A and B are shown apart, each in its own frame.
Chain A
Amino acid sequence: MTEKKGLSLNIPEPGCRPGDNPDFSDFDIPRAGSVKRPPIDVDPDEIRDMAFSIVRVLNKDGEAVGEWAEDLTEEDLREGMRHMLTLRAFDTRMMMAQRQGKTSFYMQHLGEEAVSCAFRKALREGDMNFPTYRQAGLLIAGEYPLTTMMNQIYSNAKDPLVGRQMPIMYSANDYGFFSISGNLGTQYIQAVGWAMASALSGDDKISVGWIGDGSTAESDFHAAMVFASTYRPPVVLNIVNNQWAISTFQGIARGGVGTFAARGHGFGIPALRVDGNDYLAVFAVAKWAAERARNGHGPTLIEHVTYRAGGHSTSDDPSAYRAKEESQAWPLGDPIERLKQHLIKIGAWSEDRHKQFEAEIMDDVLKAQKEAESHGTLGSGQGPSPRDMFEGVYEKMPPHLVRQRQEAGY
C-alpha cells in the first residue's frame, strides 16, 4: 500500500535577501552586439528567441557595437547625458525636499534613467505615452519645464493639478504624457485604446504603454495584450523590469515563464528584451518599435531589463527586504556611467567635462527649485484653494456639489 503524499505549493523566493551575498551568476547576459536586428515587418515567429535574449549596444569597453548601434551624433549623445543627469539631479533634490517636509512623497528613478530618457528620443510630437510613476524622463527629455514638475510635487499655488494629485502624478497632454493614475496597470489598455483611435482615424500617431514587472500580473496587462493582438494598433508596450515591486521580487509576477517578454508569444506580438541601462540600446529598440507601429506593422512588446537602485518610494527602506550590496552587484551597471564611458571612448567627453556638466545641471535644477518654492511648498499656506477640490469633478458643477461646496464654506 502506497503512503498518501500531500501536495505542496510553489512560492518563489528571490536569490538574495538581507544578509545574503548577491549572486547574479545565473543571469545570462549576451555579449553587446550579438543580437541581430530584424526588419520592421518581421514575422513574430521568426524572432521568438529575442524574448529570451537582450539587445545590447555598449560593450564593456564603452564601444557601440553590432546591428543595433544607431548613427547618433556626439550632440545627440551629450543631450542624452544631459537628460539623464537632469533626471538624477531632479530626483536628488526632490528626495531631499521630501525629507525636509516640503512634500508628502516622492519616487526616484535611480539606475533607470536611460529607459524613459532614451525612449522619448524615438518619439514624435503628437505621440502619446501612458506612463507609470517612474518615467519622468519622458517629461525631462521632452523639455517639459522642471519648475512645473516641482510645482506639482509641492502642490503649490502654481500646481497645474491644483493640489488634487499626489506628488509626481503629472499630466501633460501637450507633451505626450497621459495623466498618471495610482492604480496599477490601468494605463496599459488605455494606451492600446488610444492607438486604436489613431488607426481608426487614419492618423499616423502612435502611443506607448508603460508598466512595471510587478503590474504585468494585473488583468489589465492581459486586456491590453488581447486587444493589441486582435486589432494590431500602433502601440509600443513597454515592461520596465527593474527586478523589484516594492519588496516583491520579479519572480512572483513572472511565474513559470522564462521572461516577461515571452508573454508576447501567446499573443503573436513581437517581443524582445533590451538592456535598460544602455542608452543606445534603449533608443535603438524604441526607434525600431516606433517605426513598426508607424508603418502599420502593429504592436511590439519590449522588456527593459534594469534595476531599481533606490527604494520603491520615500515610504520604504529597501534594506529591509533585499541585500544592501545587491545594487552594486547588478551586472548591467549604471546607465549614466556607461554613457559617460562611451562618450569618453569616442573622444567626445572627459571626466572633467562630466564633473562640470553635472555641476551646471545641478545649478539649473536648483534654480528651478528656488522658483518653484517661491510659489510655496506643501502645507506652506500658498496651496490651491479648497474650492478647487469641488471644481472639475464634472465639466459643469451639478447642484449637489454646489450645495456641498457652500456647506464646506467655500
Chain B
Amino acid sequence: MAEMTMIEAIRDAHDQAMAADDKVVVFGEDVGFFGGVFRCTAGLQEKYGKNRCFDSPINESGIVGAAIGMAAYGLKPVIEIQFADYIYPAFDQIVSEAARLRHRSNADFTCPIVIRVPTGGGIFGGQTHSQSPEALFAHVSGLKVVMPSNPQDAKGLLLASIADPDPVIFFEPKRLYNGPFNGHHDRPVESWKKHPLGSVSEGNEIVEIGKASIYREGNDVTILTYGTMVYVAEAAVKETGIDAEIVDLRTLSPIDLETIVASVQKTGRCLVLHEATRTAGFGAELISLVQETCFYHLEAPMVRVTGWDTPYPHAQEWNYFPVPKRVGEALLKIMED
C-alpha cells in the first residue's frame, strides 16, 4: 500500500493500465508534456512516449470523435476533457455515437473508451469551471457513469473503466483531488495522506463498476450521495449527532439498487444529496427508485439537498454549494417528520 492523493491514484491507474496493455492510449488538452492542468497524466508521456500520451487540439468533439475511431480500430483510448463544463461540444459524439455504436451495429463495432472528466465546484470556478453534469449522461442508454470519492476508489474504478468493453464517463470531483473536502471552506483541508482511503494498493486490483459502498454505517436515516458530498454528509452527521448511513454510490449508471434498497429499508428514512442542480437531477431518479422499492418502509417524506437551479455562481459559491449546515438542517427535519 502507498499513500496517494486522488491525483496520484489516477496517475497510477493510467501507469498500470499503460504498462499492461500497449493499446491504451491517453490524449486530451494539455495532457502530454505538461501532464494535465490537474497533473493526472504527469510523467506518462516521458515514460511511455508520445505515441501513448499526447496533446490534442482544443476541440472536445474532436477528442471524443477521434477516440471513437481509434476504438473502432482496436485501441483503448483514455481521454481527458479538461473540465466537465467543456464537455458539451462532445455531446453528439458521446450520446449518438459512443453510447450507441455497439447496439446500432449489433456489436460489429464497439466503443471501449474512457472519458475522464474533472467535475464539481468549490474552487471559485464560476459557471464554466464548476458544473456537475452527471445526470445528463446517466440519462443516456449505452453509457456507464462513474464518480469515485477517494483515492482507493479512483484507482480501482479507473482500472475497471479502462478494462470495460463499453464507454465510461469517469467523473473526478476536482475538489477532492488533494483531500476529503467536507464543505467547510473556511477551515484547512485534511490531506489524503492522513486518511485511511488515501492508502492505495500498488497493484492493479479493480473496484467493480456498478457497486456502491457504505461509507458510514448508521440506523436512523440513509444519505444517498456521491463524490464531494460524501464528506459534506459526514460533517453534517458529526455536527448533528444523527446516526445516518452514508451510501457512496460510486457508480450512477448502472446503479446499485440492491445496496440502496437494503439501506433505506433498514433506516426507513432517505435523504438524497448532490452538488448538481436540483430539477431533473440525478436525485430525482434516486427518489423515484426509492419510492418504487421502499415506499412501505418509509417513515418520513424523502428530502433532496442539492445545488440551486441557477448557474454556478462565482462570488456566491458558498451560498450555492450544499454546505454541512444545509445538510444538517435537512437531517434534523427528516428526523422530526
Contacts and interface: CB of A to CB of B under 8 A. Distances in A.
B62, B107, B109, B255 pick with most chain A CB within 10 angstroms: B62
10 contacts: A160-B108, A161-B104, A164-B106, A172-B108, A186-B65, A186-B96, A189-B65, A191-B69, A193-B73, A219-B89
A128 B73 CA distance: 9
Interface of A: 128, 130, 160-162, 164-165, 169, 171-173, 178-179, 181-183, 186, 188-198, 200-201, 207, 219-220, 222-224, 226-227, 230, 392-395, 398-400
Contact of B103 (A178, A227, A392, A400): A392
Lowest 10 A-B CB distances belong to which pairs?
A193-B69, A193-B66, A223-B62, A189-B65, A398-B254, A197-B73, A179-B105, A190-B69, A171-B105, A194-B69
Contacts of B255: 400
Given A171-B104, A194-B70, 14 more contacts: A161-B105, A164-B103, A179-B105, A183-B97, A189-B65, A193-B65, A193-B72, A196-B70, A220-B62, A220-B92, A226-B62, A393-B102, A394-B144, A400-B255
B244 interface: no
Contacts of B144: 394
A186 B92 contact: yes
Contacts of B100: 181
Contact of B104 (A164, A222, A227): A164
Nearest to B251: A398
A230 B97 contact: no
A188 B108 CA distance: 19
B97 A219 contact: no
Contact of A193 (B70, B92, B107, B110): B70
A196 B69 contact: yes
A173 B57 CA distance: 29
Nearest to B62: A223
Nearest to A226: B57
B165 A193 contact: no
B67 interface: yes
B101 interface: yes
Contact of B166 (A186, A224, A394): A394
Contacts of A399: 254, 257
Contacts of A227: 56-57, 59, 62, 66
B316 interface: no
Which of A161, A220, A230 has the most CB atoms of chain B within a 10 A radius of its CB?
A220
Contact of B109 (A171, A226, A400): A171
B36 to A, nearest CB: 19
A165 B104 contact: yes
Contact of B254 (A171, A191, A198, A400): A400
Give the residue among A179, A181, A398 with the most B Cβ atoms within 10 A.
A179
B142 interface: yes
Contacts of A190: 65-66, 68-69, 72, 97
Interface string B156-187: 00000000011000000000000000000000
A196 B73 CA distance: 9
B73 A194 contact: yes
A383 to B, nearest CB: 14
B210 to A, nearest CB: 7
A201 B61 contact: no
